[in-house]
């Protein structure tokens, strides 16, 4: 057996094991440090993504609400009567509203919003629709108008105007009599204007059924207001009179799949039946809340009622906001406004609240849940990171006074 010489160096088994143990401890520490840094980075990126999604969504929503009613004239409260026979409905005709809020109702999940949304089908999430010229592709951005040259007592009477204007077949017209409280009425032009020598003007054909289910009622059905429309009434070309809808798309059977805010345009009274052009506004948006206000007392403000638990003062009965959780009555008469609000001068303010969540849950984060917003209660505890933004919008075309 060869003996080690005095000048030879090396490690014993014990020394080697100690060195390996120290290296393992150092590697574990570095791994823990790096994994923590990576987790913190991913969390910050998730938060940043949620924040960017919120800002993008709110910008688009604000622009859409401000455009609500654009090009539809100065109709009282911005609403237009129209006939919808797609489902065999009968008068009274439904309203085409520049802004319609579906509280606690998801338009992607219901058949007929006028019926189904009365009982809530949104798990607390709101949807809304806006109507304006240009809401659908191909509609004109400008406004073409003419005037009736003779009284139009009923919907089936001749529509005689002084000039042919720009009223191509297939587009909608809205009759508006300024200076009165008469609502506007929508019809569809079924052929190009033709000269009517007997009437001394151009006739706008509006026969029923030419394009299938449309806004022109069949014989025997009247949708005009009492007395019809006088000579001088404005006839506005509102193009396709498109309606753009907004809703949150989510899969309750797959909660791990991130929700998203979507939009689509259709004039179908059942929006969920025509979602071919659904577009994503923002990923990660899980909640949309809309409240709106009307200046009921005429003080130029939008008073928000609250119950002061300290003093016991209850101002909720004077609340001028709808769907803000102050306990206002529901829309039992079907006019699109809570029964506690008449909104005689139209909607003056709209408050949008959007909540976005992180793409994935963070198992190391403290438990938390979606915070309460407007009339929706807080959600269950989970480990998603969330961001919420609220913005107040002043509509430009919804404050017409009858």
Q: What gap in Å lies between CA 206 and CA 361, rounded to an integer?
A: 56
Given pLDDT bands bounded at 50, 70 and 90, which one contains residue 82?
confident
Least confident of 84-98, 246-260, 263-277: 84-98
141 DSSP assignment: S
pLDDT at 216: 81
pLDDT at 137: 47
Which tens digits make up the pLDDT trace of 308-334? 777 877 666 677 888 887 555 444 444
Tokens of 384: 């998603």
pLDDT at 327: 52
Query: Would you list the domain boundaries of the chain?
Result: 50-136+242-393
- Tracing tokens 């009223």 back to the chain, one arrives at 167
Q: What gap in Å lies between CA 271 and CA 4, rounded to an integer?
A: 91
Residue 249 has pLDDT above 50, yes or no: yes
Given pLDDT bands bounded at 50, 70 and 90, which one contains residue 122?
low
Contact call for residues 170 and 257 (beta carbons, < 8 A):
no
pLDDT at 192: 86
pLDDT at 143: 55
User: What are the angstrom distances between the C-alpha of 235 and each of 228, 254, 377?
Assistant: 13, 50, 46
Residue 402 has pLDDT above 60, yes or no: no
Q: What is the dihedral of CA 37, 38, 39, 44, to 10 degrees?
A: 90
The predicted model gives 94-111 an average pLDDT of: 82
The predicted model gives 274-302 an average pLDDT of: 87
Contact call for residues 112 and 269 (beta carbons, < 8 A):
yes
pLDDT at 335: 46
pLDDT at 89: 44
Tokens of 283: 């990923």
pLDDT at 87: 43
pLDDT at 274: 85
pLDDT at 94: 56
63 DSSP assignment: H
Least confident of 66-75, 76-85, 162-171, 347-356: 76-85
Buried b (16+ CB within 10 A) or exposed e, 354-389: bbbbbbeeeeeeeeeebeebbbbeebeeeebbbbbe
Given pLDDT bands bounded at 50, 70 and 90, which one contains residue 237?
confident
pLDDT at 233: 93
Nearest Cα to 393, choosing from 51, 100, 73, 58?
58
Which tens digits make up the pLDDT trace of 160-181? 998 887 788 877 888 989 888 7
Contact call for residues 78 and 99 (beta carbons, < 8 A):
yes
Mean pLDDT score of the chain, rounded to an integer? Answer: 77
Q: Is the peptide bond before 233 cis (omega within 30 degrees of 0)?
A: no
Sign of CA dihedral 278, 96, 56, 390: negative
CB contact set of 50 (below 8 Å; sequence gap of 6+): 284, 356, 357, 358, 385, 386, 387
């Amino acid at each position: 057996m060869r003996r080690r010489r005095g000048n030879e160096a090396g490690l014993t088994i014990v020394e080697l094991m100690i060195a390996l143990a120290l290296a393992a401890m150092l590697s574990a520490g570095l791994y823990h440090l790096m994994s923590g840094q990576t987790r913190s980075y991913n969390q910050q990126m998730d938060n940043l993504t949620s924040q960017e999604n919120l800002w993008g969504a709110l910008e688009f929503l604000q622009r859409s609400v401000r455009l609500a009613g654009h090009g539809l004239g100065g109709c009282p409260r911005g609403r237009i009567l129209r006939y919808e026979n797609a489902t065999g409905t009968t008068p009274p005709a439904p309203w085409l509203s520049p802004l319609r809020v579906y509280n606690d109702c998801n338009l992607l999940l219901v058949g007929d919003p006028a019926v189904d949304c009365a009982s809530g089908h949104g798990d607390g999430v709101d949807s809304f629709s806006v109507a304006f010229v240009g809401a659908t592709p191909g509609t004109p951005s400008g406004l073409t108008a003419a005037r009736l040259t003779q009284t139009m007592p009923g919907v089936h009477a001749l529509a005689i105007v002084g000039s042919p204007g720009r009223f191509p077949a297939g587009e909608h017209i809205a009759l508006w009599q300024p200076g009165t409280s008469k609502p506007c009425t929508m019809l569809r032009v079924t052929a190009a204007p033709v000269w009517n020598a007997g009437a001394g003007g151009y006739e706008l054909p509006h026969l029923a059924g030419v394009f299938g289910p449309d806004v022109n009622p069949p014989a025997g059905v009247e949708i005009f207001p009492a007395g019809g429309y006088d000579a001088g009434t404005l006839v506005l070309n509102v193009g396709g009179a498109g309606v753009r809808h907004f809703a949150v798309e989510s899969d309750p059977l797959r909660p791990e799949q991130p929700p998203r805010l979507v939009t689509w345009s259709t004039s179908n009274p059942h929006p969920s039946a025509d979602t071919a052009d659904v577009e994503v506004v923002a990923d990660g948006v899980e909640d949309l809340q809309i409240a709106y206000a009307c200046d009921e007392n005429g003080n130029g403000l939008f008073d928000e009622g609250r119950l002061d638990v300290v003093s016991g003062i209850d101002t909720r009965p004077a609340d001028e906001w709808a769907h803000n959780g102050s306990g206002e009555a529901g829309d039992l008469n079907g006019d699109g406004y809570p029964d506690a609000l008449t909104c005689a001068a139209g909607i003056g303010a709209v408050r949008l609240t959007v909540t976005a969540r992180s793409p994935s849950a963070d198992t190391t984060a403290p438990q938390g849940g979606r915070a309460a917003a407007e009339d929706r209660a807080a959600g269950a505890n989970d480990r998603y990171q969330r961001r919420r933004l609220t913005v107040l919008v002043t509509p430009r075309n919804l404050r017409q006074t009858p």
